[in-house]
């Protein structure tokens, strides 16, 4: 087996296990140049084995739900840019819902200095970011904790959401397509997201470009026209056009 083939096989294995996936980390691990790793990633993307992210790649096509710890390694720079852009939409005096997930959790970090803000948290990532943000009023929807995603689901979570409304809802996603909507590993998650969308004046989906057009699972929440998708600059023109054709605003962070 050629050295390049062996290296590419190991890159796919690491991506599937949630291991090292950034260009810099892979370059150091295999002791090759960053340009060599980028060529490897381009080759694997063309084969349909990986999806490119901002500065790295993730595995596609599987049915394994990655943990929050694993997801924190995926598209880190892109997620920070998306999170910062999303935080710009929030105005003083608003009540906003923050979904579970690493990108929304990163967004919560940009709200730590906010004043006159109420946050309704649907997962631990946002709660952890705001636990000592004394000027932010934080509520938690409660319910059953999904350990893998660190989000709350189930009847108690749904009952909580039916008693509140919010100016803006910021949702994460395992994947998102223009035709099907938000993709998640379980039906409890998509049912909850539909309720979040229903209770919000304005909804934002935070998803880096590697998640666009992917269908890793079979549970979906439709996206209504007027929703805003915030993604990164690696999104293609075709991907953007597909969402805009459904009445979804696309913002590039």
**pLDDT tens digits for range 23-79:** 888 888 889 998 998 888 888 777 666 666 555 666 554 455 665 655 655 667 889
**What fold, for 3-60?**
Arc Repressor Mutant, subunit A (1.10.10)
* Each residue's pLDDT tens digit, 182-216: 999 889 999 999 999 999 999 999 999 989 998 88
pLDDT of residue 44: 79
Q: How open is the CA angle 184-89-160, to the nearest 5 degrees?
A: 50
Separation CA 101–CA 106 (nearest Å): 9
pLDDT of residue 210: 85
- Taking residue 224's Cβ as centre, other Cβ atoms within 10 Å add up to 13
- CA 204 from centroid of its chain's CA atoms: 11
Phi, psi angles (nearest 5°) of residue 174: -70, -35
Residue 205: C-alpha distances to residues 23, 110, 178, 221 (Å): 26, 17, 12, 12
In the predicted structure, residue 242 carries a pLDDT above the cut 80 = yes
- Taking residue 40's Cβ as centre, other Cβ atoms within 10 Å add up to 23
* Each residue's pLDDT tens digit, 2-28: 788 888 888 877 776 555 567 888 888
Most distant CA atoms of the chain, gap in Å: 61
pLDDT of residue 53: 59
Contact 253, 78 (CB under 8 A): yes
- Taking residue 159's Cβ as centre, other Cβ atoms within 10 Å add up to 12
Domain chopping of the chain, boundaries: 3-60, 76-252
In the predicted structure, residue 120 carries a pLDDT above the cut 60 = yes
Determine what percent of the chain is predicted with pLDDT higher than 90. 63
What value does the mean pLDDT of the chain take?
88
Burial bucket for residue 225 (CB in 10 Å: 0-12, 13-18, 19+)? exposed
Which residues, 6+ apart, have CB-to-CB distance to 172 below 8 Å?
A: 99, 100, 101, 102, 103, 104, 205, 206, 207
pLDDT of residue 38: 86
pLDDT of residue 144: 95
pLDDT of residue 216: 83
Strand 249-252 with 219-221, pairing: unpaired
Class of domain 76-252 (CATH, top level): alpha beta
Q: First-to-last CA distance in the chain?
A: 41
Contact 130, 117 (CB under 8 A): no
Name the residue among 185, 186, 169 with its Cα closest to residue 224: 169
> Which H or E element spans position 174?
none
In the predicted structure, residue 253 carries a pLDDT above the cut 70 = yes
């Amino acid at each position: 087996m050629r050295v390049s083939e062996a290296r590419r096989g190991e890159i796919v294995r690491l991506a599937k296990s949630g291991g090292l996936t950034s260009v810099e980390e892979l370059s150091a691990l295999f002791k090759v140049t960053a340009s060599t790793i980028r060529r490897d990633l381009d080759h694997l993307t063309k084969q349909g084995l990986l999806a490119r992210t901002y500065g790295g790649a993730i595995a596609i096509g599987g049915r394994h739900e990655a943990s929050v710890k694993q997801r924190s390694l995926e598209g880190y720079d892109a997620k920070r840019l998306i999170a910062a852009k999303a935080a710009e939409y929030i105005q003083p005096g608003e009540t906003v819902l923050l979904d579970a997930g690493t990108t929304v959790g990163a967004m919560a970090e940009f709200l730590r200095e906010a004043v006159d803000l109420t946050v309704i948290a649907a997962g631990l990532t946002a709660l952890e970011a705001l636990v000592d943000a004394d000027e932010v009023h934080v509520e938690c929807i409660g319910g059953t904790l999904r350990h893998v995603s660190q989000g709350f689901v189930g009847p108690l979570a749904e009952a909580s959401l039916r008693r509140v409304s919010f100016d803006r809802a910021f949702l994460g996603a395992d994947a998102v397509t223009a035709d099907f909507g938000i993709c998640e590993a379980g039906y409890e998650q998509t049912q909850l997201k539909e309720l979040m969308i229903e209770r919000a004046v304005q909804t934002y989906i935070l998803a880096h470009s590697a998640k666009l057009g992917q269908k890793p699972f079979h549970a979906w929440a439709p996206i209504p026209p007027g929703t805003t998708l915030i993604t990164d600059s690696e999104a293609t023109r075709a991907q953007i056009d597909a969402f805009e054709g459904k009445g979804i605003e696309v913002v590039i962070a």
